[in-house]
């Protein structure tokens, strides 16, 4: 049994990870802005697994000071943290130069700057413990620059993936592990508006099952679900842009 902190745990992938990790025997530290939704997730987990410990805290990941405060408070609650899953993020965006810098800036701040704060806070705990497992939830869009409304989102995920790889490089041979998850199309509240237009979309439970399996194995990098994304990753990364555009 270990203690897992999940950000953005009130819905979607975060809430489903909480359900599945609890079924695997882990205690949970869950945080998000919507505490009423968090309470519902907690109540559901405890009804199914009354032996689990589930602690909740409100967190706006764009509040740097609150990020460090919440991570340290959970550490104190449990006497340490074994794993931190940096999951909170948004999928908004607009083509550059179309007057929606506010939307693109918000995506950049939430998906990378706020993720950096979460990683900093987690690594602070892990360095003190000389142990821990940091999980960064990235995206298959990190494989390549993306057009139109996806441009900034993809750039933030590429930055997050490189952040994780840099830590892996530094921590080789040490007891602190880092996993970068490149997620394909998994149904969630964030993408529910476009689900009918997306190929290779899998239900939330199925997609998260693949995420949890990769996390439990402490893989350095994982494409989830493995099929078709493991095969598509090199295609996405190396196909010339004119051909890639025709394939979309």
CA 52 – CA 49 distance, rounded (Å): 6
Say if residues 151 and 96 touch (Cβ distance below 8 Å).
yes
User: Is 101 among the residues known to form the active site?
Assistant: no
Name the nearest CA neighbour of 88 among 1, 156, 167: 156
Bridge-based pairing state of the strands 176-183 and 3-7: unpaired
CA 168 – CA 156 distance, rounded (Å): 19
Say if residues 10 and 32 touch (Cβ distance below 8 Å).
yes
Q: How many angstroms separate the Cα of 90 from the Cα of each of 66, 118, 231, 235?
A: 19, 15, 26, 26
Q: Alpha helix (H) ranges present in the chain?
A: 12-23, 35-48, 64-78, 101-108, 114-129, 151-170, 204-216, 226-238, 241-247
**Catalytic pick among 153, 169, 185, 223:** 153
First to last CA, the chain: 43
Say if residues 121 and 68 touch (Cβ distance below 8 Å).
yes
Name the nearest CA neighbour of 27 among 18, 36, 35: 18
Name the nearest CA neighbour of 135 among 175, 167, 113: 167
Active site residues: 153
């Amino acid at each position: 049994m270990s203690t897992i902190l999940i950000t953005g745990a009130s819905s979607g992938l975060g809430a489903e990870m909480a359900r599945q990790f609890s079924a695997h025997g882990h205690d949970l530290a869950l945080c998000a802005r919507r505490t009423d939704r968090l309470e519902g997730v907690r109540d559901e987990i405890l009804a199914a697994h009354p032996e689990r410990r589930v602690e909740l805290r409100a967190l706006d990941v764009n509040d740097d000071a609150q990020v460090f405060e919440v991570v340290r408070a959970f550490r104190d609650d449990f006497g340490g943290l074994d794993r931190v899953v940096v999951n909170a993020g948004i999928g908004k965006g607009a083509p550059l130069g179309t007057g929606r810098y506010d939307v693109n800036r918000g995506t950049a701040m939430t998906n990378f700057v706020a993720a950096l704060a979460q990683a900093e806070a987690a690594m602070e705990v892990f360095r003190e413990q000389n142990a821990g497992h940091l999980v960064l939830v990235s995206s298959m869009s990190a494989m390549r620059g993306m057009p139109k409304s996806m441009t900034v989102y993809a750039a933030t995920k590429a930055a997050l993936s490189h952040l994780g790889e840099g830590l892996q490089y530094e921590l080789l041979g040490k007891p602190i592990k880092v996993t970068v998850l490149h997620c394909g199309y998994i149904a969630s509240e964030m993408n529910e508006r476009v689900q009918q237009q997306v190929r290779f979309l899998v239900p939330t439970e199925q997609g998260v099952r693949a995420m949890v399996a990769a996390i439990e194995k402490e893989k350095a990098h994982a494409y989830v679900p493995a099929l078709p994304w493991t095969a598509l990753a090199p295609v996405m990364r190396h196909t010339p842009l004119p051909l890639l555009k025709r394939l979309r």
